[in-house]
Amino acid sequence: MREIILLKLGELVLKGLNRHRFEEQLMANAKRRLKPLGAFKVYTRQSITYVEPQSDDCDTAAAFAAMQKVFGAADVCLCRECEKDQDAMLAAIKEFLADQIAAARTFKVECKRSDKTFPLNSIQLAQYLGGELDEAYPHMRAEMHHPDLIVNVEVRETAAYIHGNPAPGAGGLPVGVGGRAVSLLSGGIDSPVASWMMAKRGLSLEMVHFFSYPYTSPEAKEKVLDLARILTPYTGRLVVHVVPFTAIQEELRRSCPEELFTILMRRFMMRIAAEVAHRTGSGCLITGESLGQVASQTMEAMRCTGVVTDLHIFSPVVGMDKEEIVRISRKIGAFETSILPYEDCCTVFTPKHPRLKPTRAECERAEEKLDVEGMVKTAADNIERVFIAME
């Protein structure tokens, strides 16, 4: 018999009038991710999104794994279809839930019946199945409050459906419901985590990477594209806007005080990212800044970089320790790639004594002799856009 997948909506259910829009977005995102895995039907009833294979060549196991990475679903269940016959249901439970039954010490059966012509009502069916399971498995006893295993049985028009405890979903809100954002993606640990966190809050992302060839190598750029690839199961397909940054860095080194180099460079990053936001219809910026981590991430330095744009800058890891960031980085599978030893443009021309508490006035003074607007425009006009398909 075939297996289907259920997505139980988490936070979504709470969203009142927005709920419909959120469900639509979740279904659209799920469909896009399922496309390479076969023909699946996707629909929502009473806060549960159903994913049903429509032919034998559908890869349901891969679909299940993919659905665990779709933001918006709190729980994901693999569910076995079976005949609408109480003994067929019992046999299906024993076979399909064998591992969960072996691990459980307490259980209960919950039944739902939308097919009102089925001869037993929900309570009678639960009693029958519960009694049989209790007898068949002496290691496991029935327990109504907080059982280890809840055996769910749903009798619908066409068939019955059985599932055990759900697997955790990705949580959060469906990508896209919060609008579009530009995320500054370096090759480090923090920015992929920051991007993932904001996608989880429903933002759809445009990635921007500053590339300083030949000071940074093609491998360094490949690494960033790989990081974007690692994010796509969560974010959906991505565009990485690769910004040629060498000329700006060289100009800053030539004409500005060395101790302000990093902060001025970061001001240009924000301006260019804001320009990309303008060109892509994005409403905010995202960075992986963490307060106090490096000289350019003091309160004063972050203010100096933030003031060059009126877009809000989300830095979701700002209050996190490196260890906490690393934990998420490992969880999303980015860590091993992030620690590959390629240089980032931030490590090019780093001053020996960067100013820890720069002021806005001194940054502006240092930039007076520069054609800021022209530099930003030239960089933005020469962006290479790399399209990253979903993994």
Q: Which residues bind ligand ATP (CB under 6 A)?
A: 184-186, 188-191, 208-210, 287-289, 293-294, 296, 344-346
Q: Which does 256 bind (CB under 5 to 8 A by kind): Mg ion, ligand ATP, none?
A: none
First to last CA, the chain: 29
In the complex, minimum distance from the CB of residue 185 to ligand ATP, in angstroms, rounded to a whole number: 5
Name the residue among 57, 69, 5 with its Cα closest to residue 33: 69
CB 315 within 8 Å of CB 286: yes
What amino acid is encoded at 276 in this protein? V
Which residue, 19 or 330, has its beta carbon nearer to ligand ATP?
A: 330
Interface with Mg ion, residue 195, by CB under 5 A: no
In the complex, minimum distance from the CB of residue 89 to Mg ion, in angstroms, rounded to a whole number: 55
CB 243 within 8 Å of CB 383: yes
Burial class (CB in 10 A: 0-12, 13-18, 19+), 99: exposed
Stretch that binds Mg ion, among 58-66, 167-175, 193-201, 344-352 (CB under 5 A): 344-352
What does the block give as tokens for 37?
A: 């895995």
Q: Which does 129 bind (CB under 5 to 8 A by kind): ligand ATP, Mg ion, none?
A: none
In the complex, minimum distance from the CB of residue 288 to Mg ion, in angstroms, rounded to a whole number: 7
Spell out, one character per residue from 147 to 186, where the chain touches Mg ion: x when CB under 5 A holds, - when not. Answer: ---------------------------------------x
Q: Which does 210 bind (CB under 5 to 8 A by kind): ligand ATP, Mg ion, none?
A: ligand ATP
C-alpha distances (whole Å) from 320 to each of 172, 217, 317, 327 are 19, 30, 5, 11
Which residue, 86 or 290, has its beta carbon nearer to ligand ATP?
A: 290
In the complex, minimum distance from the CB of residue 1 to ligand ATP, in angstroms, rounded to a whole number: 47
Q: Which H helix or E strand runs over 65? A: helix 60-67
Q: Which H helix or E strand runs over 229? A: helix 218-235
Interface with Mg ion, residue 188, by CB under 5 A: yes
Residues of this chain that bind Mg ion (CB under 5 A): 186, 188, 344
